């Protein structure tokens, strides 16, 4: 499993919105500048979130985007599944029932199912708030005398 640029940038965009949630609506231009991501690329990612309850939008001169929920209500897993699709290492793990004719005798199926479970549980256990807290802690401990 490899996370695409789209997934990585979407996560960075939502972290940026979480970090600046007290500033009201944030423009894609501001996010693009802070995150060093092309505004055009962010414009391609936004439609994925417009179909969900992830973001609130506002048009006009004071327009932009903001999180629809608090940062502790967004998990990295749900963000990546939305942008990447499945996070499973192989296709058959996503099927119910498994369509592969070898599944009943497949010695590796439990390996892939276990890996998918570990990856999903790990990513679902990390919220945007956890990332912000970790970032703040890292900067607080990074002082020079």
- pLDDT tens sequence for the chain (145 residues): 789 999 999 999 999 999 999 999 999 999 999 999 999 999 999 999 988 889 999 988 888 999 999 999 999 999 999 999 889 888 888 877 777 777 788 898 889 999 999 999 999 999 999 999 998 887 777 666 6
112/109 Cα distance (integer angstroms):
5
Domain 5-140 class, CATH top level: mainly alpha
| Enclosing H/E stretch for 108 | none
Give pLDDT, residue 55: 95
Alpha helix (H) residue ranges in the chain = 5-19, 28-35, 39-50, 76-84, 109-124, 128-140
Give pLDDT, residue 94: 81
| Strand-strand pairing, 55-58 and 64-67 | antiparallel
Give pLDDT, residue 98: 77
């Amino acid at each position: 499993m490899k996370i695409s640029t789209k997934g990585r940038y979407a996560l960075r965009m939502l972290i940026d919105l979480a970090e600046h949630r007290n500033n009201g609506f944030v423009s894609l231009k501001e996010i693009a500048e802070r995150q060093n991501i092309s505004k055009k690329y962010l414009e391609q990612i936004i439609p994925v979130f417009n179909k969900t309850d992830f973001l609130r939008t506002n048009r006009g001169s004071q327009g932009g985007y903001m999180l629809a929920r608090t940062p502790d209500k967004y998990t990295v897993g749900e963000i990546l599944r939305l942008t990447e699709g499945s996070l499973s290492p192989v296709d058959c793990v996503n099927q119910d029932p498994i369509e592969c004719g070898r599944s009943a005798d497949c010695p590796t199926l439990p390996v892939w199912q276990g890996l998918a479970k570990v990856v999903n549980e790990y990513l679902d256990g990390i919220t945007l708030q956890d990332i912000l807290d970790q970032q703040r802690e890292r900067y607080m401990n990074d002082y020079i005398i």
